[in-house]
Amino acid sequence: MSHFNSTAPAWNDIPPLDVCSIAVPTQTGAVSVATTAGQLVISMHNFGVRLRFGECQFGDYGMLIKEPPAVIPVVTNSENLTIIEGGGHTLTLHHQPLSFELLKDSQCIQQSPTDSHFVRQFRPPPVARVDQGWFISPELESSEPVYGLGEKWGSLNKRGQLIRFCNEDALDVNGEASYKNTPFAWSPNGWGAFVHTPAPVTHGVGFAPWSQRAYSMLVAPCLKPGGEVECYLPHLNNSHWCKFPSGEPFESGRTHQLTLSLNDIAVFVPEVTQIPLGPDVAYTDALTSGSLIASLWTN
């Protein structure tokens, strides 16, 4: 895998994904597509298309109230193309490299970027697997604005910005840090993108050092090649730390070297700790005084 340099990506050194075999329907109504970096699972919905890369190894922290119902797709396989239809949408996958076109009622609403040059069709890869995580870059038209992404202190139109997306405590409004990020961006041209992950995401929204004609997203749970993470756990008297949510014990008062998967994060709580977990609700007004805690997590 290649390392992704967010300052000046070396596109020539980042190979795009290819499709390796025909698409196969799953028992859940989705479609599984084998790529050079593992399985891509695609489901069709009335609201659009859902793409899932990698395997989820922990919960999504209630980002979805419930799984959206999928529409049973119609799949057409050929040597160089896979066409998946359902819910009024048609998704065409080109195999080498993996790229896409999404149509709604026969009108194209999104596709892989048309940013190209004389060496290859796609200057930035449409989809790639890099050391830090996953990279995908849909198209942006030349003057297309993009809005959303929650609490950010700059222009409402995110076009031209590089936005690092991670909830953190913000003590002012003069930097990028904020704790009310929203993983949804949208365009008046008729499409929106919901990035369903608790991992840090970097959005290059027509960002010139990446591409002025693409909305590129780097989903990067691991910030160092190989997923290596170093963390110091403060001393606890006669106790240790437990990794959340697995409960795995870690000695206190020392530095630990961890290797995390793409879907893992380093969160620790003191031993014998109870964490109240709230119920799944669509908005806070739905909470009542008698339903603030749904369960307790105990290590």
Question: What dotted CATH number matches 112-221?
Answer: 2.60.40.1760
Domain boundaries, the chain: 14-110, 112-221, 225-298
| CA R_g for the chain | 21
Using one digit for the tens of pLDDT, what is the confidence trace for 174-211?
777 888 888 999 999 999 999 988 788 899 999 999 99
- Asked if the model's pLDDT at residue 8 lies above 90, the reply is no
pLDDT value of position 14: 92
pLDDT value of position 35: 95
Q: Output the CA–CA distances (angstroms, integers) from residue 293 to 18, 278, 297, in the order listed.
A: 45, 4, 11
Q: Provide the percentage of residues in the chain whose pLDDT is more than 90.
A: 46
CA 108 to chain centre: 23
CATH of range 14-110; options 3.40.50.300, 2.60.40.1760, 3.20.20.70, 3.90.1310.10: 2.60.40.1760
| Span 166-174, average pLDDT | 77
Which residue is associated with the tokens 């990028």?
A: 176
CA atoms of 129 and 221, how far apart (whole Å): 12
What is the pLDDT confidence band of residue 283, given thresholds at 50, 70 and 90? low
Q: Kindly report the pTM of this predicted structure.
A: 0.74
Q: CATH topology of 14-110 equal to that of 112-221? A: yes
pLDDT value of position 169: 75
The mean of the pLDDT values for the chain is 86
pLDDT value of position 74: 95
Question: What dotted CATH number matches 225-298?
Answer: 2.60.40.1180
Between 111 and 224, name the one with better pLDDT.
Answer: 111
Residue type, 240: H
| Span 60-89, average pLDDT | 89
Lowest mean pLDDT among 22-31, 123-132, 170-179, 244-253: 170-179
Using one digit for the tens of pLDDT, what is the confidence trace for 215-257?
999 987 655 556 677 788 888 888 888 888 888 899 988 888 8
